[in-house]
Every structure is written in structure tokens, then in C-alpha cells.
Amino acid sequence: MKKEHQWRYLIIGVLFAVMGVVIVLQILRLQYSEKAQELLVYEDPWIEKTIYPTRGQIYDRWGHLLAGNHKVYEIGLELREIETPEDAMAIANAISIYIGTDKQFVFQQASVPFVDKEQVYMVVDDFVSADKVQALEEYIKQYKESVAGDSDKPSLDAIVTSAHLERSYPENDLASNLIGFVSRRDRLGYFGVEEYYHDALAGEPQTILVTNDPSMVAEVPDIPPGSSLVLTIDREIQAMAEEVLDQAVEQMGAETGTIGIMDPRTGEILALATTPRWNLNEYWQYDQREFPNRGVGYPYETGSVFKVLTMAAALDEGVVEPNTTFVDQGIIEVGGIYIRNWTNVAHGPVTMTECMQLSLNVCLAHLGLELGPPTFYSYLQNFGIGKGTGVDLAGEVTGIYRDTSHPDWYWADLGTNSFGQGVSSTVVQMLKATSAIANDGEMVQPHIVKAMVTDGKQHPITVLPAGSPISGETAHTLTNMLYVSLQEESSDALVSGYSVAGKTGTGEIATDEGYTLEITNASFVGWGPTDDPKFLVYVWLEKPTTSIWGSKTAAPVFARVVERLVVLMNIPPDDQRLAIEGIQPEVQE
């Protein structure tokens, strides 16, 4: 190599070396710059994200929407877009004016990037209505147009609105105890069918990989929604039952009340009204300790309505017939205690039909003794007393029940249990038990869901048989006895033009001093038309004050329900219906 060229190569080598150093320094500068640190969140271009399906909807039997979903918005801040305190204040002003969020809270959240560079996103409000978000977005649009090109003005670019679905209840408090609600906090269903069928309604969440690189954003894949439910509830019947119940609780001065209406042939619950009720769209404003459905979650001593089960057992065993005579002396001793009639009156010779008509405790305690503990309690077990009904509602309880296998059982229990004292049941338990009497001896399974809709296909719910605790003959005999007893006493439960059978109940409530008639549970169970029952209705008023007697409080409520129920169910009066069917009415004796 010629010496005159060496200096040229040396200069070129030095230049390349300098350029290399410059490139390395630039790489280091860029890598550790503030903007580079912001981009580190995209270091891993794929992250896991859980996608929640759309929650299934809930309908009544005719397709009326009882629980659905509506769009709401989350208001968030992209903290990297907030560069000055003026930006934070402008953001706080806009969100407080148009969304209603506390201004000071938003300002504090918007000021986070000045003290914590790690935070990149902050939620300042959620479950915001679409109209508020629309107003905010319109203001942001107008503001940006007005400050376009002026870099000294505060920026609102950090404000982000994200849509998502929230559970909604278009009927507010209608059937609230049956439906339950979905919590905003954890997306879980609480109470009613929302809790019982939560997994089916919620669907199957899926965890997927999504890109964390904004230049590679792809649409989130659709996943199947949760199953929808078609209830057995009839919206119009439910609304009617709630209206009648609210009026009855007020008129009778009761603390609470429950009305259950079931088809005794299928077990479909057409209505289950309770008090109090709540607006499900604002569930957080109420004491959730009172939310459970009183129809399945509150057992009580039903009193004389329980006598229909004792009489059914006695008839089925052949111990008595409707005209069997019993000499009522007004008092009977069972297991060392003395049981008296509620009137403290001795009625002398009475038939079994008159025992039911007069609701004689002594007569029913006598039947309990005639049956004996093993037989009596085996019938109660067959009627489902002391067991869960299996109804598809959250929070069902079984009540208090003792038979001879219980260490605290005494012979006296046989006497008191025979007329409904010392044993407790829920409204749905009693609906299930008495369905055997209204349905030819066949007991039905109470249920609230008629069908489930999955993948666009409706799948009927299969309901298993619930047993035959008595014969069809016994059921018809007892129905006729209860029909006659209501007619003979001119009961307030009678409905003009329709044959109904039923029984009142006045259950004494236990206190520290024992049972007292000063406060009672008033009940009535009835069904009709007696030749072909299409409805079974149970009424319970807790602690009525206008009268302690079920015959004066619960019985007339039953009549009010049935008068409107037959219209809603399109059941003609007996004479018209039988004429249409070409059937001669039977003469009831």
C-alpha cells in the first residue's frame, strides 16, 4: 500500500468508528427515553383477556321480558395523554358536568401521572347511561374543534368511554323475589332464578390471547351467549296476585304476606307474590337480608290448613269415611297435654265433614291417635313435609319437623302435629302436598322454569313425578268434603259461579310464654273447579291485626284472587263450561 493512501484509510476508519459510537449512543438514548418507557407496555405483544358472554334473558311464559341487558359505559382515563395539571382540571370539569362524577375525585385520578409514571389507565366511573355519555362525547368533539391548532389549550384526549352490558329489569319490582338480581360487583346472580340458574344464564367465559400492540388490534371474537329462561310465571297473573296481596296486607294490618298460585296438574307456578318487594334495578338500596323469597325461604306453623293432610291420611287408611261420627267433648288428652278446640266448645256428635267445617282440633288429634305415629308420620313424609320440594329457586328451606326418630319427639307432638301445630312448612311445600288432593292423588313437582333457550333452540325442562301419597278416590272424597264444608258455612272463600274446595288455617305463634292467639298466621289453601282443578291457590298473611282468624282474613283474599284468576285463565263459570263440554253437573252432597 502506498504511504500517500494510508491517511485516507485512517480517516475513513475513524469516521466509521465514530459513526458506530454515535449509533450505539442513540440506541441507548432511545431505549431509556420517557417515550420508550411508555412503549414497554407493548413488550409482550400478546396478553390474556377474559371475555364474558352476554347473559341470557328471562321471560314469562308468554314471552314478556322480565330480565334483560342494556348498554352502559365505563369512563376511563388514558393517563399518558395527561401532560399538565390544566389537562387534569379540564378533564375533571367535563366529567363532573356531563357525567355527574365528583369533580375533586376525577381531578385526583387525573393527577396520578404526575406522581406515578407506572399507571397507564384509570377508571373514574362506571355503569353510566348512554345519554350522559353521548352528551360528554358531543362536548369533547365541539371542544376539540374550538381549540384546533392551539397547543396551549388543555387536552381532553385522555377521556375514554367503553361500552359494556348491565343487567336490567324492565318490570322493576314485579316478581323481584322470584327473579333475584345480578351484582355489579362480581357479576354473580343472587336470589331467585338469577342465583339458581346462574351458571346457565352467565354462559362460559373464555380466556383468549389478544394483541397488546395498537398497530395490530384485531376484533374480539364473538362467544356464545348464556342460556335464556322461559318461566312458568304468567306476568298478568303475577301482577294481579301482587296487587291483591298489597291491598290485603294493608287492609288486614298484616306485617307481610304471600300468595302462591300453581297448576295442580303440572306443578307450574303461575305466580308467587310476596311482600316486601324491591326495584331490582336499584337492588343496592335495600336490605338484602330481607330479599329471600318468603314462599320458599320462610317456614311457619300453618295451623288448620294442615288438617287436610291428616284427614287425607285417615280417609286413605280407611280409618274413617266422610259420614263417620265422632263425639266431640271439646277436649282430648294426648301424651300428657290437653288439646282443646279453638272455640273451647264441645260440639257433641259430628261427622268427619263437619270436623273439617268446624275445624275441630280435638277431632283431628283423635284421628292422629287412630292412625298411630308410624302411619301418621309416614303420610307426612310421603306428602313431602320436612323435605325440600326441589323447586328451582335459590334459598329453599325445609322447616321444623320431628317424628318418632327424633330424640326430642314426644307423644304430645302427635296430637299437636295432627292439627298443624309444632310442625312448620313453607308455602311451596304446602302447594306441593295439597296438589295430591287436587290432582287425583298424584303429587306434582313445583317448578318455576318452563324451558331453557340455548343456541337458538328451546329445550323444555323435564319434571319428574313427585309420588302418589294417597289414592285418587281419597283425593276426590276429600275434595268433595271440603267443597261441602265451604258451602255449609257460607265461607268468605266462595266464588260465585265456580265450585272451589279449601281449608282455612289460623296458626298460633309461639312466644316466650308459649302459644298465644293474640298474634297468628292466617292461611287458606283452595283449588277449583272441583270436578277438574286448574288452579291451586295458597294465601298466607303474617300477623293480621283486623282479625286473627284465617276465615276472616285469608279466605276473602283467596276469593279475590280466584275472581280475577278465572278471567285471566279464561275459565268459564261451571254451568257454561260443563254445557260446552256436554257434561251434566254432579249433585254434591
- Residue 509 in grid coordinates: 305463634
How far is residue 25's CA from residue 18's CA, in Å, rounded to a whole number? 11
Angle between helices 373-382 and 307-316 (to 10 degrees): 110
Grid cell 302459644 is found at: 515
How far is residue 55's CA from residue 165's CA, in Å, rounded to a whole number? 9
Low-confidence ranges of the chain (pLDDT < 50): 42, 213-217, 587-589
Query: In the 8-state DSSP scheme, what is residue 462?
Result: P
Strands 65-78 and 256-262: unpaired
**Other beta carbons less than 10 A from residue 252's beta carbon:** 20
User: What secondary structure does DSSP assign to 499-549, as a single string?
Assistant: --EEEEEEEEEEETTEEEEEEEEEEEEEEE-TTS--EEEEEEEES-SS-S-
Q: What is the pLDDT of residue 281?
A: 93
pLDDT tens string 191-248:
999 999 999 998 887 776 655 544 444 555 677 889 999 999 999 999 999 999 999 9
The domain locations on the chain are 70-149+158-169, 235-581
pTM for the predicted model, two decimal places: 0.85
CATH superfamily of 235-581: DD-peptidase/beta-lactamase superfamily (3.40.710.10)
3-state secondary structure 76-140: EEEHHHCCCHHHHHHHHHHHHHHCCCCHHHHHHHHCHHHCCCCCCEEEEEEEECHHHHHHHHHHH
How far is residue 170's CA from residue 101's CA, in Å, rounded to a whole number? 26
Query: In the 8-state DSSP scheme, what is residue 284?
Result: G
Q: What is the pLDDT of residue 323?
A: 95
Q: What is the pLDDT of residue 557?
A: 97
Q: What is the pLDDT of residue 589?
A: 47
Pick the CATH number of 70-149+158-169 from 3.40.50.10490, 3.60.9.10, 3.40.50.720, 3.30.70.2110: 3.30.70.2110
How far is residue 109's CA from residue 565's CA, in Å, rounded to a whole number? 57
Residue 152 contacts residue 68 (beta carbons within 8 Å):
no
Q: What is the pLDDT of residue 517?
A: 74
CA angle 13, 14, 16 (to 5 degrees): 65
CA distances 481 to 85, 193, 311, 393, 494, Å, are 84, 38, 10, 34, 14
Residue whose C-alpha is closest to residue 349's, from 326, 332, 320 = 326
Beta strands in 244-347 (DSSP E): 256-262, 269-274, 325-328, 331-334, 337-340
Q: What is the dihedral of CA 279, 280, 282, 285, to 10 degrees?
A: 80
Q: What is the pLDDT of residue 290?
A: 66
How far is residue 486's CA from residue 501's CA, in Å, rounded to a whole number? 7
Q: What is the pLDDT of residue 587?
A: 46
How far is residue 439's CA from residue 450's CA, in Å, rounded to a whole number? 20
Provide the sign of the torsion angle of the four alpha carbons 146, 151, 157, 158, taken in this order. Answer: negative
